[in-house]
């Protein structure tokens, strides 16, 4: 998943008319799962007569969908809540959703008594009830259960991107990585019924979406709960067969559940995108054991070899944590040489931060902040070199691009290849947004590709 970014969903859509006085402002922190949860919450609110507005000042209901994956992300939420208090907007209802809500629970009412709703993602199915309680004038409403086997399904989801639709297929996580809050904040793993997933994909195709991105913390651990008992690779193939769908993406994959049938599905069905996000976290088996990652360096490299052996090139990206308790200089060296061995197309890297309610909180976090920063910088520099070289190899090649952005500069556009590389390109075309074009790469840098449309 991506690093925490802050997004205000209402900036992308105009405010819609609502029932007098009921208007919500929704700000989202964190990963794609949170983005998509926010899309579902927005759909739910719109269907209940709320309008969506672009500023907290214009809203009667202010919601923050929060992330607590790393310390900084959680701090950002409290500072946002603090800022809001300073504005002293009376009469507004403020709610905290997502992982910080789950993590802090009723503590939020103590730290920020101006908050009225606290709801973790495993309890979103109760949101309609909770909203009704708030509308009836309740001042403290919570949804904090995680002992659920249900998933968050809504009748209406208000999606932000008109071409790529996110779709959750599995919620929660049953792994127990020692640094990670997700099993605690998002609860146990629950897979959605395959027929419900396929029904939604058909609806999306009818609405004009041509790309779907299947989401889950461990998306490839998917296990269909219905008698059809579809495996993840079978679901991928079935989604790709839905008429109107041109691209199927999925994220995030867990190395232990990454099996050869997934690679075979990518090989046999061009609509399944040639990109796998496979977080390794560390190149040292010793550190991986301490992280409870359930695979060794060699086992991970076997998965990479499986992909490199495919009859279609597959882009591979990863997540890495530096400075985990006990990570020595030589463990870190192993991570650096793993980068050289795999040659990732891109990576997200983080300094370890101890999180509440995780097993690793009991381990001494003895690597100093300065040393963590040094390792992070060394790692990022190495990756920069690798990416520069990899991107340069693409010069001269042509790729299909789904156009999703238009630059202010004339005749300049941007979009993604199937391998999820962003490319800026020149074209004389007029209405390219949402279309698929062929682009030849003419130039590159460590983080970008530049090209020209082929005609």
Instruction: Show the binding pattern over residues 239-278: x = contacts ligand SF4 (CB under 6 A), - = does not.
Output: ---------------x------------------------
Q: CB of residue 141 vs ligand SF4: minimum separation in angstroms?
A: 27
Coil, helix or strand at residue 420: coil
> Could you say which of ligand SF4, ligand 5AD, none residue 319 binds, taking C-beta under 5 to 8 angstroms by partner kind?
ligand 5AD
Residues in Cβ contact with 103 at an 8 Å cutoff, skipping those fewer than 6 apart: 68, 74, 181, 184, 185, 356, 357
Question: How far is Cα 454 from Cα 118, in angstroms, rounded to an integer?
Answer: 52
- Regarding 320 and contact with ligand SF4 (CB under 6 A), the answer is no
Minimum CB–partner distance for residue 448 and ligand 5AD (Å): 23
Applying CB under 6 A, the span of 99-107, 140-148, 173-181, 374-382 interacting with ligand SF4 comes to 173-181
Partner that binds at residue 183, options ligand 5AD, ligand SF4, none, CB closer than 5 to 8 Å by kind: ligand SF4
3-class SS at 58? Answer: helix
Q: Does 180 bind ligand 5AD (CB under 6 A)?
A: yes
267 binds, among ligand 5AD, ligand SF4, none (CB under 5 to 8 A by kind): none
DSSP-derived 3-state class of residue 379: helix
- What is the Cα gyration radius of the chain? 22
- CA torsion sign, 288 to 179 to 187 to 276? negative
Q: Is 436 helix (H, G, I), strand (E, B) or coil?
A: strand
Phi-psi label, residue 172: left if phi above 0, alpha if psi -120 to 50, beta otherwise? left
d(CA 403, CA 425): 10
User: How far is residue 80 from each of residues 56, 83, 111, 448, measured CA to CA in Å?
Assistant: 11, 5, 13, 32
Instruction: Quote the CA–CA distance of 197 and 434 in Å, as a whole number.
Output: 23
Shortest Å, Cβ 350 to ligand 5AD = 4
323: DSSP letter: S
- State phi, psi for 25 to the nearest 5 degrees: -120, 130
Kindly tell me which of 59 and 276 has the beta carbon lying closer to ligand SF4: 276
45 binds ligand SF4 (CB under 6 A): no
- Least gap, CB of 168 to ligand 5AD (angstroms): 16
Residues 58-87 that bind ligand 5AD (CB under 6 A): 69-70
Residue 293 binds to ligand 5AD (criterion: CB under 6 A): no
216 binds, among ligand 5AD, ligand SF4, none (CB under 5 to 8 A by kind): none
Binds 230: which of ligand 5AD, ligand SF4, none (CB < 5-8 Å by kind):
none
Packing angle of the helix pair 329-342, 369-393 (nearest 10 deg): 10
The DSSP annotation for 146-185 comes to ---------S----S-SSEEEEE-EES-----TT--HHHH
Record the tokens describing residue 45, joined without a space: 């609110």
Q: Quick one: which segment of 104-112, 158-166, 347-355, 395-403 binds ligand 5AD (CB under 6 A)?
A: 347-355
The binding track of 177-196 with respect to ligand SF4, each residue x by CB under 6 A or -, is x--x-xx-------------
C-beta nearest to ligand 5AD: residue: 319
257 makes contact, choosing from ligand SF4, ligand 5AD, none, with CB < 5 to 8 Å by partner type, with none
Shortest spacing between CB 183 and ligand SF4, in angstroms = 5
Instruction: Give least dist CB 28 to ligand 5AD, A.
Output: 16
Alpha helices (H) along 88-226: 98-104, 107-111, 127-135, 182-186, 194-206
Taking CB under 6 A as the rule, does residue 219 contact ligand SF4? no
Q: Which is nearer to ligand 5AD, 267 or 319 (CB)?
A: 319
| Torsion sign across C-alpha atoms 427, 428, 431, 437 | negative
Beta bridge partners of 403: 415
Tell me which residues touch ligand SF4 (CB under 6 A).
Answer: 173, 175, 177, 180, 182-183, 217-218, 254
Tell me which residues touch ligand 5AD (CB under 6 A).
Answer: 1, 69-70, 179-180, 279, 281, 319, 321, 350, 352-353, 355
């Amino acid at each position: 998943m991506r690093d925490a970014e802050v997004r205000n969903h209402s900036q992308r859509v105009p405010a819609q008319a609502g029932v007098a006085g009921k208007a919500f402002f929704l700000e989202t922190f964190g990963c794609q799962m949170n983005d998509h949860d926010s899309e579902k919450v927005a759909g739910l609110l719109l269907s209940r007569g709320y309008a969506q507005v672009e500023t907290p000042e214009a809203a009667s209901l202010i919601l923050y969908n929060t992330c607590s994956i790393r310390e900084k992300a959680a701090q950002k939420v409290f500072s946002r809540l603090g800022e809001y208090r300073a504005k002293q907007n009376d009469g507004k209802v403020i709610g905290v959703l997502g992982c910080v809500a789950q993590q802090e629970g009723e503590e939020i009412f103590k730290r920020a008594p101006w908050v009225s709703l606290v709801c973790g993602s495993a309890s979103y199915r109760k949101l309609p009830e909770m909203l009704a309680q708030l509308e009836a004038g309740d001042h403290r409403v919570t949804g904090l259960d995680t002992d659920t086997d249900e998933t968050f399904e809504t009748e209406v989801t208000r999606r932000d991107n008109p071409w790529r639709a996110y779709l959750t297929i599995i919620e929660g996580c049953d792994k127990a990585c020692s640094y990670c809050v997700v099993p605690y904040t998002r609860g146990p793993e629950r897979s959605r019924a395959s027929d419900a997933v396929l029904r939604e994909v058909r609806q999306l195709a009818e609405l004009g979406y041509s790309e779907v991105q299947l989401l889950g913390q461990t998306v490839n651990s998917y296990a269909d709960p219905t008698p059809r008992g579809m495996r993840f690779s079978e679901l991928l193939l079935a989604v790709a067969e839905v008429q109107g769908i041109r691209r199927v993406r999925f994220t995030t994959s867990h190395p232990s559940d990454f099996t050869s049938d997934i690679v075979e599905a990518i090989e046999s069905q061009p609509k399944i995108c040639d990109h796998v996000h496979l977080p390794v976290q560390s190149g040292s088996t010793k550190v991986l054991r301490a992280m409870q990652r359930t695979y060794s360096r060699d086992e991970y490299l076997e998965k990479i070899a499986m992909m490199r052996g495919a009859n279609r090139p597959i882009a591979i990206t990863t997540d890495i944590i530096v400075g985990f308790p006990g990570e020595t200089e030589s463990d870190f060296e192993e991570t650096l040489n793993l980068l050289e061995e795999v040659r990732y197309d891109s990576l997200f890297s983080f300094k370890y931060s101890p999180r509440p309610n995780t097993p690793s909180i009991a381990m001494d976090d003895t690597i100093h902040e300065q040393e963590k920063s040094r390792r992070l910088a060394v790692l990022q520099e190495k990756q920069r070199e690798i990416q520069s070289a990899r991107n340069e190899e693409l010069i001269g090649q042509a790729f299909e691009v789904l156009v999703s952005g238009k630059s202010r500069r004339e005749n300049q556009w941007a979009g993604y290849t199937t391998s999820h590389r962003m490319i800026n390109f020149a074209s004389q075309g007029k209405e390219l947004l949402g279309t698929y074009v062929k682009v030849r790469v003419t130039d590159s840098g460590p983080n970008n590709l530049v090209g020209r449309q082929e005609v």
